[in-house]
Every structure is written in C-alpha cells, then in structure tokens.
C-alpha cells in the first residue's frame, strides 16, 4: 500500500507574535465627535449611546413568571406598551386588567 499525504503537514505552528505587530494606542482621538454627531443628526441616524432613544426599562419583580407569545399588529403592540407606560405598571398587569375587563363585559 502507498502512504497518504498528510494534509496538515504544512500547518506547523509558527511564531505569530513575530509577524503581528499591533499599532501602539494613541492618546488623541483623530475623530471629530461633533462632526459625527452633526452628520448623524442630519441623516436621522439614531445614537447608540446608553439612554438615548431607548425604550424605558420594564423590569419588575412581580412574581409573574409565565410567558405568552402572540402575533398582533404593530398598532396593538404600541398601544399595549403605551398603556403600561402611562400607568407605570408591568406589561403583565396591563394584560391581566384587560382580561378582567373582557370577563366583566361577558366576552
């Protein structure tokens, strides 16, 4: 039988530290932040900085630990979140109150 060639023979470890030389960090930023912010504002590009343009945090320790996933319209979702934000209650409370109202109406 003939001997097979080793496909990994030429992958011998090399000292990559000698080949890779990162640039030293610079103390001065070459980016003009004001110019970038102005361009972003002109083109309606949202900021990714913390706290800017983000939805309010909705984390409450309420004992609710069950999840329900439903498909609905964007308008219904926006109304659902708006109701929770307006009252300052968790989403689960809005859901429960809605179910209670439907039950009272004999739905």
Residue 106 lies in a domain: yes
Q: Model confidence over 31-68: pLDDT tens digits?
A: 788 888 888 889 888 777 666 556 666 666 778 888 99
Closest to 91 in 3D by CA, of 53, 70, 51? 70
Tell me the Cα Rg of the chain. Answer: 29
pTM over 0.85: no
Residue 19 lies in a domain: no
* The pLDDT value given to residue 15: 60
CA distance 68 to 14: 54
Residue 41 lies in a domain: no
Q: Model confidence over 8-27: pLDDT tens digits?
A: 777 766 665 566 677 777 76
Q: Which domain holds residue 103?
A: 64-107
Residue 81 lies in a domain: yes
The DSSP-derived string for 66-106 is: --------HHHHHHHHHHHHHHT--HHHHHHHHHHHHHHTT
Residue 55 lies in a domain: no
């Amino acid at each position: 039988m003939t001997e097979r060639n080793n496909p990994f023979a030429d992958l011998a470890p090399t000292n990559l530290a000698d080949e890779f030389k990162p640039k030293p960090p610079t103390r001065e930023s070459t980016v003009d932040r004001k110019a970038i912010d102005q361009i972003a504002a002109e083109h309606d590009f949202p900021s990714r900085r913390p706290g800017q343009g983000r939805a309010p945090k909705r984390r409450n320790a309420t004992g609710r630990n069950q999840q329900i996933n439903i498909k609905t319209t964007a308008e219904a979702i926006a109304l659902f979140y708006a109701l929770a934000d307006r009252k300052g209650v968790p989403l689960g409370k809005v859901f429960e109150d809605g179910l209670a109202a439907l039950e009272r109406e004999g739905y």
